């Protein structure tokens, strides 16, 4: 399958996001819309419903991580909204993940449940400092080692997708070949990396086998966002 484009609606207000959504729909460009914490806190579930009821595919990226009962109830609400996919932290453990997977199977069209491994804002130094603070010991492995272990665990617990850096796709596919891989931290050639540490271009991610890529600010902050989307879709199609 061709690599899909997920457009992160990095806006503080629904009106701004809808302007882009409507412009893209008018051009009949096929994308998935990512609603993250900022926009969800500003506009809530009604905004997500507006997208899904209008025929849009939505990636709800709230990275659930709590006790199993709490996350399972949140997952049920995500299913009710009709989202195509949503995220949770694999570090929440087997009980949490398995309870969520059991819940989503009740939906008429179960969403893809994406496990978050290591955030793409981490580089090796930052990850080692964090791991040391948690365990009290300096870790010997690389980020990719942690990602592989989390991906394998998530797949074993029933997850249908994974979020990882493009740099780890090969290892994730080896550890859990059936997972739908969503890759954030994508920056078109010449773009500012901003706060992302482990980045690739759209074509590079597609060549690595990503199921979908996430692009936010290089689109939403572009002078012509629709043209930016069209350009990325063209790059993916020819990768």
Distance CA 235, CA 106 (A): 37
Q: Which of 13, 34, 50, 63 is catalytic?
A: 63
3-class state of residue 200 by DSSP:
strand
3-class state of residue 57 by DSSP:
coil
**Distance between alpha carbon 219 and the CA centroid of its chain, in Å?**
16
Closest C-alpha to 188, from 221, 155, 164: 221
Please report the sign of the dihedral spanned by the C-alpha atoms of residue 90, residue 172, residue 175, residue 137: negative
**Distance between alpha carbon 64 and the CA centroid of its chain, in Å?**
12
Question: Is 63 annotated in the active site?
Answer: yes
Catalytic residue set = 63
């Amino acid at each position: 399958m061709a690599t899909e484009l997920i457009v992160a609606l990095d806006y503080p207000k629904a009106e701004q996001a809808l302007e882009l959504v409507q412009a893209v729909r008018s051009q009949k460009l096929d994308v998935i819309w990512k609603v993250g914490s900022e926009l969800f806190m500003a506009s809530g579930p009604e905004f997500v419903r507006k997208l899904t009821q209008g025929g849009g595919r939505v990636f709800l990226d709230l990275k659930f991580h709590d006790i199993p009962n709490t996350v399972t109830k949140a997952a049920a609400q995500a299913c009710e909204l009709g989202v195509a996919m949503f995220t949770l932290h694999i570090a929440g453990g087997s009980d949490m993940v398995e309870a969520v997977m059991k819940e989503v199977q009740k939906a008429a069209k179960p969403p893809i449940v994406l496990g978050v491994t290591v955030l793409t804002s981490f580089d090796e130094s930052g990850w080692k400092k964090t791991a040391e603070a948690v365990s009290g010991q300096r870790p010997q492995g690389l980020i990719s080692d942690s990602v592989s272990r989390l991906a394998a665990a998530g797949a074993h617990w029933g997850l249908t997708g994974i979020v990882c850096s493009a740099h780890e796709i090969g290892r994730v596919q080896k550890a859990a070949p059936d997972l739908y891989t969503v890759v954030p931290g994508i920056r078109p050639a010449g773009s500012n990396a901003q706060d992302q540490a482990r980045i690739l271009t759209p074509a590079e991610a597609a060549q690595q086998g990503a199921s979908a890529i996430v692009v936010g600010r290089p689109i939403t902050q572009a002078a012509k966002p629709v043209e930016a989307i069209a350009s990325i879709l063209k790059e993916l199609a020819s990768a």
